[in-house]
Structure 1
Amino acid sequence: MMVGFDRVVNRFYSFIWKKQTYNKVLWSELDSNLLGEIYCRLTSPTDQTRFRAVCKSWLAVHPVSNTTSLAFLPWFIGFSLSIASAHNRLDFILYEPSSRLDATSVHTVSLTKLSIPCPPAWNEINAEVVNNWLFVCTRRTYRSSFYRRNFVLFSPFTKQVIKLPQSDHPLPFKFRRTFSTDPNSPDCVFLLLDAACPNSSTIRIMTYRNIDKEWTATQFERVDEFIPCSCVPIYIQGKFYIVSPFGQVASYDILNGRFRFENIAIDNHLAQNYSSLNYLVFELNGDLMLIYYLGSLKKNNHNIQAKPCIKRFDWSIKVWIPVISLGDQSLFVGKNFWSVQ
């Protein structure tokens, strides 16, 4: 049976009040062991998130060992882009693991209030989860041969909306977007990457910091051996990493603005299955990782997704090494998953 946040907290607080009649206890001064006991009785990820949002001392509480495994499962976010283009708003629905098919919460972001013109077609709106924020991009044709892009970040837990500067670029550019750290931090670097155009000899990167007034664009020469790619850059210790579908690795250093091809050698297994390859790059415990699927299998006239393969990039020999097991960790693949912990 799930225990409500208010019920658990009030029970413990009532107990403390009776013991200390003359000295009122502040919420932020509750004993850490007591807070841990409260936290472990909250079986709903929604209540656990609210618990950590009370104050800094509650945020620092480490759950005890018997905390339910539900707390470590990601949330799922769903949205309808067709509705967005029709009503000039973005509607998001959050699903927590314990709620199954029931929506935990529904959120609406008005593009009109943000002075963002909504595109006329649903395929000109793109939204995905990046570092536990919903990163939204809308685009409209501008001056016949340009796209004007608007960017918005939204956090359903704090209801915070961050609007980034718009950008105007020629139609062929196809940007992937991400950012380095907390988007509220002055050190956060927002990054747009275009490395997917097969006919281009350059890789284009645009960066923005909270102290800037507009995006800064930089172009780098692409070596012929590096295969164009459309993966989302992965941030690890001061660098954004880009991985081609052949396993080649490039990096962009946010401190000095240097772009470097770390490895242009081809992973033969990836290259041989390029036509049916679906892959995703991610970070795990500081390592650069990729997971890929080699097409689909057919069983009883039904298409079944092939078994995924995971590899880790070994920096000492600059080769992708197969990963047999993730140990006690689980990997949830997709752009709509949201980690609460």
Structure 2
Amino acid sequence: MAADWSQLPAELLEIISTKIIFITDYLRFRAVCTSWRSASPARPRHLPAQLPWLLLPYYPSPDNTDARRLFFDLRDRRIYQLDLPETRGKRVCGSSHGWLVLERHVAISLLNPVTRAHIQLPSLNTSSTFLYFFRPGEAHLFPPPDADQMLEKCSIKNVTLSSNPALNSDCIVLAVFQREGIFAFCRIRDESWTIISESYFFFNDKNIDVTYHNGRFYSVSAHGQVTVYDVNSPRRIVLPSRLQYSWDQKYLVDQSSQELLMVEWNFESRSANGGAKYDVFKLDVDGQPKWVKVEDIGNSMLFLGGTNRCFCLPAVNFDGWGGNFIYHTVPYFLQRYEDGDLVSHAVNSFSLKDDCTMQIACNLGVSLLHWSPPMWVTPSLF
């Protein structure tokens, strides 16, 4: 007679569940039967940090009924299809701490794609003080009179969270808007957004990136100007630019509580094997702050992307993965349309040790440049 695995003692099942280290295996364990599910907590505390998934690009169906989203698991090279009705008709405009940021006109929300926990953020039109800048020196209340035509300009380019909102009710959400680089922030419990007025720059800052490091938000402009913001005070600190007129794509990465990195993706320079070139700089705060080029990031793996919060993971936690690598989602231009550039997407892997670039994934789907490009998501049960 075959064994009835559903009758295993709850104490034994609980011990077994604590030995599982991958979130996908843990979800499969809980899906076996009711008794296995009851013996394992929905939010286990023992799971370590996970290798990220890659949310593949998508474009909403004409009737907005398709809620299927595809995620590429970097660890086992598999694609998972998740039914996420919360994303129906919405653009995913960012990812941070395992949460997706969803945008539909003035409605902004957060979604954990694994647990489907959902947090509604303040609407962008809840405050009459929310300003929309579209020319230097001019300001208009949001939404402007021709709101339908201006939606593209007011859409969100990048979002970062100060922490996981499921673990910290004081989590701060910082959003960068598409055109003029306007910044706004809110806390999870707030009823409206607050503008950071100093964030309006008088240069082309479409390549701007933001991160959270040591209790402050940092932004980098296209030409390398890094600005530090403390949302609890009006003080703003501008750090020295590394290269005044460099237009390479730049990313900020919180390597640890002690180190802040800036990565430049050089469009024209080439690595030793002819691929895209990446340069890494560390913020040196001894004396006058300055950026110092580094050739080795040790055990770290950096994950870069256009709309997700860039982050760092220790390679020692993942068998078969080595440190001193950068993983970057990159677009490839296909065709120009009236409503935007059509692009394909791939993932570059760059070894700082060997100065070599490899493409580890390609043809990851086609999308308009600013509509839900692929982005890294760190799967979490919190």
Q: Residue 116 of structure 2 aligns to which amino acid in structure 1?
A: K
Q: 1:51 to 1:249 in 2, by over 3 A?
A: farther
2:242 paired residue number: 267
Q: 1:209 aligns with which of 184, 187, 210?
A: 187
State the match for 2:285 in structure 1: 315
**Secondary structure, counterpart of 2:79 in structure 1:** coil
Question: Counterparts in 2 of 1:222-233, with a 5 A limit?
Answer: 228=205, 230-233=207-210
Deviation, 1:49, is 6.2
CA spacing shift, 1:315–1:158, aligned 2, 3 Å: same
Structure 1 position 237, deviation (Å): 2.2
CA separation of 1:129/1:88 partners in 2, compared to 1, >3 Å: closer, same or farther? same
Can you give the 5+ residue segments of structure 2 that lack an aligned partner in the other structure?
31-36, 126-141, 145-149, 309-374
Q: Match of 1:183, as an amino acid?
A: P
3-state secondary structure, aligned to 2:118: strand
Q: Residues of 2 paired with 1:205 and 1:230: CA distance?
A: 14
Q: In structure 2, what is the Cα distance between the partners aligned to 1:221 and 1:234?
A: 14
Match of 2:253 among 272, 282, 299: 282
> What does residue 293 of structure 1 align with?
265
Report the alpha carbon displacement of residue 80 of structure 1 after superposing the two structures with TM.
Answer: 1.0
Q: What is the CA–CA distance in structure 2 between the aligned matches of 1:130 and 1:266, rounded to whole Å?
A: 26
Indicate how the Cα distance of structure 1 residues 110 and 74 shifts in structure 2: closer, same or farther if over 3 A, else same.
closer
**Cα shift readout 1:19-38 (whole Å, capped 9, x = no counterpart):** xxxxx73866x4xxx766x3
Per-residue deviation, 1:273: 3.5
Q: Which residue does the alignment assign to 1:68?
A: none
Letter in 2 for 1:164: L
TM-score, normalised to structure 2, is 0.59
* Aligned ranges 1:80-159 → 2 under 5 Å: 80-83=58-61, 86-87=63-64, 90-100=67-77, 102-110=78-86, 118=89, 125-139=91-105, 149-159=106-116
Is contact 1:88-1:110 (8 Å) kept?
A: no
Q: Distance in 1 between matches of 2:206 and 2:237?
A: 14
| Greater length-normalized contact order (CA 8 Å, ≥ 6 residues apart) | 2
- 2:340 corresponds in structure 1 to none
TM-score norm. by structure 1 comes to 0.65
Cα contact 1:46–1:96 (8 A) shared by 2:
no
CA distance in 1, matches of 2:199, 2:113: 39
> Which residue identity is paired with 1:330?
M
Amino acid at match of 2:171: C
Measured after TM superposition, the shift of residue 297 of structure 1 is 6.6
Q: 1:282 to 1:50 in 2, by over 3 A?
A: farther
SS where residue 297 of structure 2 aligns? coil
When residues 106 and 35 of structure 1 are mapped into structure 2, their CA distance, relative to the original with a 3 A threshold, is closer
- The corresponding residue for 2:117 is 160
Alpha-carbon distance in 2 for matches of 1:154, 1:337: 14
For residues 285 and 102 of structure 2, the distance between their equivalents in structure 1, rounded to whole angstroms, comes to 33
SS at match of 1:233: strand
Report the Cα offset of residue 177 of structure 1: 2.4
Q: SS of the counterpart of 1:177? A: strand
**Amino acid in the other structure paired with 2:114:** F
Partner of 1:220: 198
Provide the residue aligned with 2:163 in structure 1: 181
Q: Does 1:327 align with 2:295?
A: no
Q: Supply the distance in 2 between the matched residues of 1:325 and 1:221 (Cα, whole angstroms).
A: 32
2:25 counterpart SS class: helix
Contact 2:251 2:264 in 1 (8 A): yes
Helix, strand or coil at the partner of 2:111: strand
Q: Is the 8 A contact 1:247 1:320 kept in 2?
A: no
Shift of 1:281: 1.6
Q: Which has the larger radius of gyration?
A: 1
Quick one: distance in 1 between partners of 2:43 and 2:279? 41
Greater shift in the superposed pair: 155-164 or 326-335: 326-335
Give the match for residue 220 of structure 2. Answer: 243
- Determine helix, strand or coil for the equivalent of 2:94: strand
CA contact (8 A) 2:252 2:260 kept: yes
User: Partners in 1 of 2:195 and 2:182 — Cα distance?
Assistant: 7
Identical-residue share of aligned pairs (%) = 20
Equivalent position SS for 2:301: coil
Stretches of structure 1 that go unaligned for 5 or more consecutive residues are 1-6, 18-23, 63-70, 113-117, 120-124, 140-148, 198-202
Query: Within 2, Cα distance between the matches of 1:223 and 1:57?
Result: 43
User: Is the CA contact 1:273–1:294 (under 8 Å) kept in the aligned structure 2?
Assistant: no
**Structure 1 letter corresponding to 2:117:** Q
Report if the CA contact (8 A) 1:191-1:207 is conserved: yes
Cα distance between partner residues in 2 of 1:88 and 1:217: 34
